Structure 1
Amino acid sequence: MLHGIAAGTATTGLAGAATTKRPTRKIVGLRADESFDRARDAADDVYRELDFGSVGKAVAGTFSEKALKGLRKNPKVRYVEDDGTVRALSQTLPWGVDRVDADVLHSNGETGNGADIAILDTGIDDDHPDLQANLGTGKDFTGTGTWDDDNGHGTHCAGIANAINNSQGVVGVSTEATLHSVKVLYSSGSGVFSDVAAGIEYVANQGWDVGSMSLGDSTGSSALQDAVEYARNNGVFLVAAAGNSGPCSDCVGYPAAYPEVMAVSSTNSSDGLSSFSSTGPEVDIAAPGSNVYSTYVGGGYDTLSGTSMACPHVAGAGGQLMANGASNSNARYTLAETAEDIGLGNDEQGAGLLDAKAAVGRKTPP
């Protein structure tokens, strides 16, 4: 059995949600032919008077409960409501996207537009506001009949790789590539080798650019190895999570351990190796994976940790390169050559920490 590689969960919630006290200020709506005096005289304090012409009038202020009771009974009063709180819609720049300088790419107009990134996982939430505009097609290999996410893991990975750069939620490493949901893990977060191999074969047959695999197992499979070789030979840039068996040595899981796949270990916000990250000579590159905030099922957002979260950072950067014409081998070479040495061992960081800005800014080899 293969499993989605993630460890640790924090609070799930909608962006911008906050707990506030019930406002004490009220708005009293009056008929158009009524004087402001009706509400003004009843108020303890008047904050604002609004005249909407033939639509009506309104007075914002504070009122005693006795005054409000009388106003609600008055036929000249159209409504009494809370003077509620509104907030600016904001977008969070996740620390990992910032650390690999993907936000600089966005400022330079690099969006990944034209690349196809397949997320081989539990599916993708097909109506998430931070992903929907980037969604292409998908396929279910688990027998559920839909590639929509019924776990959350795949949606989280999708947002890291390629959430839209808009006024809400989060932003991905790439922002305008096309996301494809290849559902190879059940709602439990686990799956079988043959489904994953079928998903990889499917990605190759579609001619898509990047296959992101935040899944793995401690032992390999001949069918799985055949699939990654087939995909590599057909131009797919394959990226996989190294695994969450740390602290350990020489414990990179499969498919990350196959030479056809770029294996990604995980770092924390201090550029240290994440405590859970698998290590070994197969590690090719490191990327942020501890406490990563991203999209989640139900239109929400969540913070998760794992090499699962590190993997789609590299997938998103690969999408950026391939949108600019790089082949799968070019993309892998360039990501390794431009990685930042953060002082970890070769079996911990591989070539170094992902540097998306440097990778996309460098001309790929012929």
Structure 2
Amino acid sequence: MRKVVTASLAAAVVGFGALTVTVPSNAATEPQQISGQIIVKFRDSGAAPGLLRQNGLSDGAGIGSTGAHLIKVPAGKESQLIASLSRNPAVEYAEPDQLVTAAVDEPDPDYFPRQYALHNEGQSFTNTNDTVTVAGGKADADVDAVEAWAVTTGKDIKVAVLDTGVATDNDDIAANVDLHANFSTAATGEDNYGHGTHVAGIIAATRDTEGVSGVCPDCSILDGKVLNDAGSGSTSSIVNGINWAVENGAKVINMSLGQRVSSRALESAVNNAWNKGVVIVAAAGNAGTQAPIYPGAYPNVIAVAATDNNDAKASFSTYGKWVDVAAPGVNVYSTFPKHPFEIGRQNGREMGYDIASGTSMASPVVAGVAALVWSNTPAGTENKAVRTIVQSTADTITGTGTSWVHGRVNACKAVAGVCDQP
């Protein structure tokens, strides 16, 4: 299955967790890369030391299972050395280690009734902090998660969240985290930014009488922190996170982040994960254009656009025929850290629980649906079959065939449940 995409524009990398209803484009206009390091893969590993020495360099650490290495270079010489190395036949590719950020656009009690994305009967609730409606709209704008739970709640399925970490002090999601790893430049693996905790809660917050519930409430989370406490990271950190997730048994990987220029190292990591049987899900972006975002635009990734509570495309959502499915991504309630975090400081979000908007929020909905499908299929089922089920059971809504290919996902139909809506 090959997705047709247009040419990428700049080398900037962006994350997709917007925190207001009105979301301007967060697409960067200038290329951005990590200073002082590049990614290099050699065709001839024996020639590598000599070739690096000729350029005043030394070998660096391997990146995941890609065969590429992270090479330290003098700051400001990145492009020059990439060009020089790329001309050598012993080099398969040399490329920037691009900047990745969980970009955020400016603007308790039981919150489950406010989760229109999971189950909505047309009711309406208001967030007093923002004086905006966070539920209501069309009764069938949800993904019918509650009906799906009559079939499965995803027990024992591991979903990797590659993001800013998952807070250890919010039991609503921390209880379902099996493993933590820190691939970022942050001193610890704690989520001090907030984005990763919100994403993880959408997938697997525990189903109980307080807080919120995830789409796959009995799934286990593998918390791979690839973005630091300022919400930024690098292509190489994402690649290492993907490799770690595969090695630790993830059946689904969610990446609510992306970059505007393709990376051969990143695509290789994605393909390795796919070939090992993992379903990979990623946000399509918040630029409101058709420009492709990576890893979402890679053929072996399910790219996800965002819809609102009226089952319409979110105004900010990236779209196009390279985007596979849609899912609710506007004013989505989920978990946040219970300690101070950067998104809360910037945008006035509450500790514990609050809303967020973006394809960052839509992507984990799809990841949760994929996990439910995994738990409802026989042993030996391949990831290709799981992906086909998720996509083929999506509801055909306005925008299907133009803004995305397959429709807005439906968890109940995906697990062959008894669904209220046709």
TM score, norm. by length of structure 1: 0.74
In the other structure, the counterpart of 1:265 is 305
Pick from 138, 145, 149 the counterpart of residue 102 of structure 1.
145
3-state secondary structure, aligned to 2:330: coil
Of residues 285, 292, 297 in structure 2, which corresponds to 1:252? 292
Partner of 1:35: none
Q: Could you tell me whether the CA contact under 8 Å between 1:128 and 1:297 is conserved in 2? A: yes
SS of residue matched to 1:130: helix
1:236-270 alpha-carbon deviations (Å, 9 max, x no partner): 11000000010x23x13110000010000000111
Partner of 1:324: 376
In structure 2, the CA distance between the partners of 1:90 and 1:289, relative to structure 1 (3 Å rule), is closer
Give the residue type in structure 1 aligned to 2:321. P
Q: Distance in 1 between matches of 2:239 and 2:210?
A: 36
Provide the identity percentage. Answer: 40
Q: 122-131 vs 257-266, which deviates more?
A: 122-131
Larger radius of gyration: 1
Whether 2:156 is the aligned partner of 1:125: answer: no
Which secondary structure state, in structure 1, belongs to the residue aligned with residue 281 of structure 2?
Answer: strand
SS of the residue 2:197 aligns to = helix
Check conservation: 1:183, 1:199, Cα contact below 8 A: yes
Q: Residues 323-362 of structure 1: CA distance to partner in whole angstroms, max 9, x if unpaired? A: 2234321111001110100021424132000001000117
The 1-side partners of 2:143 and 2:311 are apart by 11
Which of 351, 354, 367 does residue 315 from structure 1 map onto?
367
Q: Is the 8 A contact 1:2 1:191 kept in 2?
A: no
Give distance in 2, aligned partners of 1:132 and 1:297: 10
Question: Is the 8 Å Cα contact of residues 242 and 264 (structure 1) preserved in structure 2?
Answer: yes
**Map of 2:260 onto structure 1:** 218
- Name the structure where helix makes up a greater proportion of residues: 1
Residue equivalent to 2:181: 139
Cα distance in 2, alignment partners of residues 104 and 162 from structure 1: 16
Instruction: Please give the per-residue CA displacement for 1:115-163, whole angstroms capped at 9, x wherever unaligned.
Output: 0001000000123121122110021101324322111100001111111
Q: Distance in 1 between matches of 2:369 and 2:312?
A: 21
- What SS does the corresponding residue of 1:282 show, helix, strand or coil? coil
> How far has the Cα of 1:109 moved from its partner?
4.8
Q: Is the Cα contact below 8 Å between 1:139 and 1:146 reproduced in 2?
A: no
5+ residue gaps, structure 1, are 17-88
Cα distance in 2 for partners of 1:291, 1:312 equals: 14
Q: Give the secondary structure class of the aligned counterpart of 2:171.
A: coil
Matching residue's letter, 2:295: P
Measured in 1, the distance between the counterparts of 2:231 and 2:15 equals 5
TM-superposition CA deviations, 1:170-222 (whole Å, max 9, x none)? 11110001111101111222211010011111111222101000001111111
Contact 2:166–2:174 (8 Å) recurs in 1 = no
Q: Which amino acid aligns with 1:123?
A: G
Letter aligned with residue 350 of structure 1: V
How far 1:104 moved relative to its partner? Answer: 1.1
2:324 corresponds to 1:303: no
The amino acid of 2:325's aligned partner reads: I
Q: Which residue of 1 aligns with 2:324?
A: 284
1:233 counterpart residue number: 275
CA distance in 2, matches of 1:352, 1:333: 13
- Are the aligned partners of 2:324 and 2:405 in contact in 1 as well (CA < 8 Å)? yes
Match of 2:8 in 1: none
Q: Could you tell me how far apart the structure 2 residues matched to 1:227 and 1:161 are?
A: 23
More deviation in 201-210 or 172-181?
201-210
After TM superposition, the structure 1 = structure 2 runs for residues 1-366 of structure 1, keeping only pairs within 5 Å, are: 2-9=13-20, 15-16=108-109, 91-98=112-119, 99-106=142-149, 108-246=150-288, 248-249=289-290, 251-298=291-338, 300-325=352-377, 326-361=381-416
Report how far residue 93 of structure 1 moved: 4.9
Aligned counterparts of 1:94 and 1:213: Cα–Cα separation in 2: 22
* 1:169 aligned counterpart, secondary structure: coil
Question: C-alpha separation between the residues in 1 aligned to 2:400 and 2:407?
Answer: 9
Assess if the C-alpha contact under 8 Å between 1:3 and 1:191 holds in 2: no
Residues in 1 aligned to 2:169 and 2:385: alpha-carbon distance in whole angstroms: 33
Q: Is the 8 A contact 2:151 2:415 kept in 1?
A: no
4+ aligned runs moved over 6 Å, structure 1? none
Scaled by the length of structure 2, the TM-score of the pair is 0.65
Partner of 1:46: none
Task: Pick which of 200-209 and 320-329 moved more.
Answer: 320-329
